[in-house]
Structure 1
Amino acid sequence: MDTSQHKDLFYIPEDICYLNTASLSPSFKAVEKAGIDAVLQKSRPYLIPSSDFFDPVIELKKRFAQIIELDDYERIATIPSVSYGIATVAKNIKLNPGDTVVLMQEQFPSNYYSWKKLTDTYKAQLKIVEAPKSKTNRGKLWNEAILEAIDESTAVVAMGHIHWSSGTLFDLMAIRAKTRQHNALMIIDGSQSVGALPFSVKELQPDALICAGYKWLFGPYGCGYAYYGPYFDHGEPLEENWTNRLDSHKLPDLTQYQSEYKPLANRYVMGESGSFIYVKMQLEALKQVISWTPKAVQAYCKEISAKAVKELRDLGCEIEADDYRSHHLFGLKLPETVDIKIFKKALSEHSIFVSFRGAYARLSCHFFNTEKDFEKFVMCLKSVMK
């Protein structure tokens, strides 16, 4: 596959091996330009129409809704972070003593701390589903353990679509069916999947989906998206800002205070959601993400990493079974013979960028990567193996 047209969208020098989109995506040239244009626009505020506080945000919601296969963009809120979105969800859930909130082992902190606080408040319990110790059928066994953990005590299941360190893929459809049996809420963190892995709200119907916008959605750091289902239609937002209220677009009438919120998820939108700089950058980013399609991203990432995955396994690295992991992001447990400090130094010297999360070295790729990037990583690893 010719990726030159994709690489041309970025400013990534040929000597840089960037396998770290899961941490922070590079910006498209178009996103950078949109941000600069917006900065310049702010220098002339008299040229900014009042409609710019609202219309671009509506367009942004529509684009994100398209990515997650959602018909009603009014169920989307623009937010500054995953922690903001999860805190909003937790604020609108009441538990009973003895209820459980099911989480995965070592999931991202932003999808843990709010649940810890909530269960402590209501004398409920966190139920952490640990990853199996088995080196074979690990993903299959983990999914089975999650299903077994959901029972009559379960009030909430909060999890990622994939595990952010290992890339383990969770069977959300089967888990959703089990949550429905027990009237439990399903809250998904899509930060490491949406945009790079097919996700359908229409098909899954989660109660909420929270996503960071600066990874696989290629937006600036400090932006995110949230889908809120019917359960949250009449909840309380984290903050009371003027844009969340009904008729807030009528600027001359703002002092005629409005007791009603805008419908659906609009009540949960963050203050200053119309940020000219961020919104313009996000719009450009989502335009490109939509044109690529998550399905194509997965296919390409699988293609360019397949040879390296085999080599890494032959070298003694543990990688989740192919049928139970994502291909844009996967973790490897390194052989004990590898000195991590020496390996990190070697990666730095060769301009290879990856993440180390928990027990894993995490590799994440996209259309700007090629098979040669993985070859470079494998050669670097071989050079430090005893």
Structure 2
Amino acid sequence: MECQKQRFSLPDDHHYVNCAYMAPLLKTVETAGIAGIQRKRRPWEISPDHFFEESHQLRDLFAHLIHTPKAENIAILPSTSYGLSTVAGNLDHRKGTSIVIAGEQFPSNVYPWRQFCARHDCQLNIIEAPTAPEGRGEKWNERILDAIDASSLLVALGNVHWADGTLFHLEKIGARAHEADAYFVIDGTQSVGALPLDVQSIRPDAVICSGYKWLLGPYSIALGYFGEKFINGIPIEEGWIERENSEDFSGLVNYSDRYQPGAIRFDVGERSNFILVPMMIEALRQLRQWGISNIQAYCKKLTGELVRELRPYGYQIEEPAWRAHHLFGIRFPAHIDPAELNQRLVQENIHLSLRGSALRISPNVYNDHEDLQALLDVLTDL
């Protein structure tokens, strides 16, 4: 796979290596958004079919991306927190007394479980990372596996840790969760779109993913997969479009207590967003054309030299088997001042994020060797 920078509107004098913060828009995605705005000029051209057709396209594309044959298991959401709150509202609290999460997870994947535990006298079991750098990722995975037992109600993780890219081996963790008869829920926001995920092999009960990062879509739209444990659940909202026969606009006052099939019941109100949905469709079409495994391979090839060159300078980077290539953290030698580092990065127009104790590196297909070389020059000079 070659660099795809020409498909984005990125200036040559800026080095944006920060997709984990927010992805830039593809030109085609931007065009779809503008067309959506312009469509609203002539509302008489928006037919009842438009409320459904594009939503179905979006479900099909995301279902293909995560390898589920049932597009009706996909819900259109406004955010990751909305999707995880939907999960929290449909947990059977009688099935266990503890919820297992990783330390320092993103807040959207913490607050719903804190509130659930407070309401149901459940224990939030936070598995912190090892402090020693040697074998950190492997030992962290072992700690999580050891924490899952017969008392576990839910295991909620990302595929990678959002701050430093530590890779959580979902097949092993998911298998342990299933053995314990626990729910298994994945926040895919920092992985889906750049790291392959197959729900048929991992068998999660839910996968929730914001659209504005690795899915290359706009802000304020997310997508969720809901498995059989949740498929008959209760949504956060009781909207009209999620109800049976809502396609018949003339019969909307024939109120129905039956939902549309599958996870469509969990859709956010006004899910047929005529700006955001077409943008998300264009982004997923492009990801499908590229292939997610090709994106991960490109990031691996792109960052290889950076990782090799930094190790002799005392920078700490997780071993490849226990981190992602599209998102990973660099921890500094003791003498480096993070404030000075940040100032140098700003001066050189290098856009990254400091998250916790790590400088988070998150390239994508629009990055090239010059972007990584600019970063390498700053880090080795310091």
Quick one: distance in 2 between partners of 1:208 and 1:274? 22
Aligned to 1:303: 301
Secondary structure, aligned partner of 1:300: helix
Tell me if the contact between 1:97 and 1:122 (Cα under 8 Å) persists in the aligned partners. Answer: no
Secondary structure, aligned partner of 1:136: coil
Secondary structure, aligned partner of 2:220: coil
Quick one: distance in 1 between partners of 2:36 and 2:180? 48
Q: Deviations over 1:259-305 (max 9, x none)?
A: 10111101100001000000111111110011111110111111110
Tell me if the contact between 1:96 and 1:122 (Cα under 8 Å) persists in the aligned partners. Answer: no
Is 1:357 matched with 2:355?
yes
Q: Give, in angstroms, the shift of residue 371 of structure 1.
A: 2.0
Q: Give, in angstroms, the shift of residue 335 of structure 1.
A: 1.5
Quick one: distance in 2 between partners of 1:276 and 1:96? 41
Q: Give, in angstroms, the shift of residue 380 of structure 1.
A: 1.3
Aligned to 1:160: 158
Secondary structure, aligned partner of 2:324: coil
Quick one: distance in 2 between partners of 1:54 and 1:97? 37
Aligned to 1:58: 56
Q: Give, in angstroms, the shift of residue 96 of structure 1.
A: 4.3
* TM score, norm. by length of structure 1: 0.97
Aligned to 2:193: 195
Quick one: distance in 2 between partners of 1:160 and 1:333? 21
Quick one: distance in 2 between partners of 1:161 and 1:28? 25
The aligned amino acid for 1:238 is: I
Tell me if the contact between 1:97 and 1:124 (Cα under 8 Å) persists in the aligned partners. Answer: no
Aligned to 2:346: 348
Match of residue 259, structure 2, among 258, 261, 282 = 261
Quick one: distance in 1 between partners of 2:290 and 2:328? 21
Name the CA shift for 1:144/1:39 in 2 (closer, same or farther; >3 Å): same
Equivalent residue runs for 1:1-386 within 5 Å: 2-3=2-3, 6-96=4-94, 99-383=97-381, 385=382
Tell me if the contact between 1:94 and 1:122 (Cα under 8 Å) persists in the aligned partners. Answer: no
Q: Give, in angstroms, the shift of residue 78 of structure 1.
A: 0.5
Secondary structure, aligned partner of 2:276: helix
Tell me if the contact between 2:73 and 2:262 (Cα under 8 Å) persists in the aligned partners. Answer: yes
Quick one: distance in 2 between partners of 1:343 and 1:136? 25
Name the CA shift for 1:86/1:319 in 2 (closer, same or farther; >3 Å): same
Quick one: distance in 2 between partners of 1:291 and 1:212? 20
The aligned amino acid for 1:375 is: Q
Name the CA shift for 1:172/1:98 in 2 (closer, same or farther; >3 Å): closer
Quick one: distance in 2 between partners of 1:357 and 1:2? 29
Secondary structure, aligned partner of 2:49: helix
Q: Give, in angstroms, the shift of residue 168 of structure 1.
A: 0.8
Q: Give, in angstroms, the shift of residue 97 of structure 1.
A: 9.9
* TM score, norm. by length of structure 2: 0.98
Q: Give, in angstroms, the shift of residue 309 of structure 1.
A: 0.7
Please list every run of 5 or more consecutive structure 2 residues that lacks an aligned counterpart in the other structure. none
Q: Give, in angstroms, the shift of residue 253 of structure 1.
A: 0.5
Please list every run of 5 or more consecutive structure 1 residues that lacks an aligned counterpart in the other structure. none
Moved more, 98-107 or 54-63: 98-107
Instruction: State the superposition RMSD in angstroms.
Output: 1.1
The aligned amino acid for 1:350 is: E
Quick one: distance in 2 between partners of 1:293 and 1:22? 19
Q: Give, in angstroms, the shift of residue 98 of structure 1.
A: 7.1
Secondary structure, aligned partner of 1:232: coil
Quick one: distance in 2 between partners of 1:171 and 1:284? 30
The aligned amino acid for 1:293 is: G
Q: Give, in angstroms, the shift of residue 137 of structure 1.
A: 1.2
The aligned amino acid for 2:166 is: T
Q: Deviations over 1:192-237 (max 9, x none)?
A: 1111001001111100000010001011010100000000121110
Q: Give, in angstroms, the shift of residue 2 of structure 1.
A: 3.8
Name the CA shift for 1:94/1:55 in 2 (closer, same or farther; >3 Å): same
Q: Give, in angstroms, the shift of residue 133 of structure 1.
A: 1.6
What is the aligned residue count?
A: 382
Q: Give, in angstroms, the shift of residue 319 of structure 1.
A: 1.0
Q: Give, in angstroms, the shift of residue 254 of structure 1.
A: 0.5
Tell me if the contact between 2:96 and 2:152 (Cα under 8 Å) persists in the aligned partners. Answer: no
Secondary structure, aligned partner of 2:195: coil
Q: Deviations over 1:360-385 (max 9, x none)?
A: 110101111112211111111233x2
Secondary structure, aligned partner of 2:184: strand
